[in-house]
C-alpha cells in the first residue's frame, strides 16, 4: 500500500541501515528506486563504520554518515556512544524531511537512529511487541515481509510505500579505477595470465566470524587448498582480510606448498580482485 506523501515537500532523505556490508549491498536496488522516485532530493545514508567503504561511490547517495558501534569499539563503549551522539547531532541539524529504516524487519537499534534524526516522516517496520518508545520510532509503518523473502525485496518493500520501485533488481558495489588498477597490478606481479584458457584462477577466501564457534576449522581449508593445488590447470590464490591474518597463517602452515596469496584491504579491494577472475 502506497502512502499519501507530498513528494514536492521531500527535499532531504536519510536512509538508515545499521547491520552488515552484505546487507547494505543488497539494499542498493532500493536506493536506486528511491532516487528514481525523488530525483532532485538530497539522499544521505547512515551506516556503521565498517560498512562506509561499500557506500562510497554509490551514484544514488549524496552523503555518507557513519558511526562506531559500541560493541566493536577499541576505545570503550563510552567513547563510541559519544561519537555516535555527535553524528546524530549533525544529522539532526540537517533537518531531514524523511528518514527510512530500511532493514528487512524491525530492529530497536535502527529505530532509535531513525527517531533521533527528528525527521517529521519516519518509515520502518512495525514492532512485533509494543512499547512506549518502540511505537514512536516510526510514524509510517511497513508490513512485515513473508518468510524466506530475499533481502533486496525486503528493502524494496520499504521504499515501495513511498511510491519507489525499480524494474531490475541488481545489487551493486561501485569500484573506482584505482581499485581495478590495484587488482590488475597484483595479477601482473605474479605473472598470472587471466586470458590463458588452459589455466583457471581459483580464489579461496579465508574468513572468521566474531563468534568462534562459527569458524570453519583450519583443517577444512587446508584439505581444500591442497586438493586444488594438485589439480592440473588450476592457479590457487589464497585470500584474506588483515583482521584474519593469524587464522590465515595457521592455514598456510598446513599446506604442502605455498600458494599465491592476496590480502584484501577492504571489500572493494576484494571485489575488484574477484571481478577479474
* Strand order from edge to edge, sheet including 260-263: 200-206, 234-240, 260-263
Q: Which domain holds residue 192?
A: 177-276
Confidence of residue 128 (pLDDT cuts 50, 70, 90): confident
Same domain, 59 and 188: no
Residue 260 lies in a domain: yes
pLDDT recorded at residue 3: 67
CA distance 28 to 36: 12
Among residues 96, 130, 160, the one where a domain terminates is 160
Identify whether the C-beta of residue 143 lies closer than 8 Å to the C-beta of residue 128: no
Same domain, 155 and 80: yes
Same domain, 140 and 84: yes
Among residues 160, 194, 219, the one where a domain terminates is 160
Q: Does 159 have pLDDT greater than 70?
A: yes
pLDDT recorded at residue 210: 67
pLDDT recorded at residue 8: 87
Same domain, 28 and 62: yes
Q: If you search the block for the grid coordinates 562510497, which residue do you land on? A: 56
Residue 165 lies in a domain: no
Residue 167 lies in a domain: no
High-pLDDT (> 70) share of the chain, %? 94
Confidence of residue 78 (pLDDT cuts 50, 70, 90): confident
Same domain, 127 and 264: no
Same domain, 65 and 99: yes
Q: Phi, psi at residue 142, to the nearest 5°?
A: -115, 140
Residue 270 lies in a domain: yes
CB proximity list for 87: less than 8 A, separation 6 or greater: 46, 65, 66, 67
pLDDT tens column, 39-53: 999 999 999 999 999
Same domain, 131 and 218: no
pLDDT recorded at residue 72: 62
Identify whether the C-beta of residue 114 lies closer than 8 Å to the C-beta of residue 100: yes
Same domain, 134 and 71: yes
Q: Does 4 have pLDDT greater than 90?
A: no
Count up the domains in the chain and report the number: 2
Average pLDDT over residues 69-73: 67
Average pLDDT over residues 156-185: 90
Same domain, 22 and 152: yes
Any alpha helices (H) in the chain, and if so which ranges? Answer: 21-25, 28-37, 52-55, 77-94, 108-116, 151-160, 177-189, 218-230, 245-253, 267-276
Say which CATH number the domain at 133 has: 3.40.50.2000
Residue 97 lies in a domain: yes
> What is the three-class DSSP state of 69?
coil
Residue 166 lies in a domain: no
Same domain, 30 and 117: yes
Average pLDDT over residues 79-100: 93
Kindly report which listed range (70-74, 100-104, 148-152, 228-232) carries the lowest average pLDDT score: 70-74
Q: Does 211 have pLDDT greater than 90?
A: no
Average pLDDT over residues 72-97: 86
Buried b (16+ CB within 10 A) or exposed e, 226-248: eebbeeeeebbbbbbbeebeebb
Confidence of residue 74 (pLDDT cuts 50, 70, 90): low
Same domain, 152 and 257: no
Amino acid at each position: 500500500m502506497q502512502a499519501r506523501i507530498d513528494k514536492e515537500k521531500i527535499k532531504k532523505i536519510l536512509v538508515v541501515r545499521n547491520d552488515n556490508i552484505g546487507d547494505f549491498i543488497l539494499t542498493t536496488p532500493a536506493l536506486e528506486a528511491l532516487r528514481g522516485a525523488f530525483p532532485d532530493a538530497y539522499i544521505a545514508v547512515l551506516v556503521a563504520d565498517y560498512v562506509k567503504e561499500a557506500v562510497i561511490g554509490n551514484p544514488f547517495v549524496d552523503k555518507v554518515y557513519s558511526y562506531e558501534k559500541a560493541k566493536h569499539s577499541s576505545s570503550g563503549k563510552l567513547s563510541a556512544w559519544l561519537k555516535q551522539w555527535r553524528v546524530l547531532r549533525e544529522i539532526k541539524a540537517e533537518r531531514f524531511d524523511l528518514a527510512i529504516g530500511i532493514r528487512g524487519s524491525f530492529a530497536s537499534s535502527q529505530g532509535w537512529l531513525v527517531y533521533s534524526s527528528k525527521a517529521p516522516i519516519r518509515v520502518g517496520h512495525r514492532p512485533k511487541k509494543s512499547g512506549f518508545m518502540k511505537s514512536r520510532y516510526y510514524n509510517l509503518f511497513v508490513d512485515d515481509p513473508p518468510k524466506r523473502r530475499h533481502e533486496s525485496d525486503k528493502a524494496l518493500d520499504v521504499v515501495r510505500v513511498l511510491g519507489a520501485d525499480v524494474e531490475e533488481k541488481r545489487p551493486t558495489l561501485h569500484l573506482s579505477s584505482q581499485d581495478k588498477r590495484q587488482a590488475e597490478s597484483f595479477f601482473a606481479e605474479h605473472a598470472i595470465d587471466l586470458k590463458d584458457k588452459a589455466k583457471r584462477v581459483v580464489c579461496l577466501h579465508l574468513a572468521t566470524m566474531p563468534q568462534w564457534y562459527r569458524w570453519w576449522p583450519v583443517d577444512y581449508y587446508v584439505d581444500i587448498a591442497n586438493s586444488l593445488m594438485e589439480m592440473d590447470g588450476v592457479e590457487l590464490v589464497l585470500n584474506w582480510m588483515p583482521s584474519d591474518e593469524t587464522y590465515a597463517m595457521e592455514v598456510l602452515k598446513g599446506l604442502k606448498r605455498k600458494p599465491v596469496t592476496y590480502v584484501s584491504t577492504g571489500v572493494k579491494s576484494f571485489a575488484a580482485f574477484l571481478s577479474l577472475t
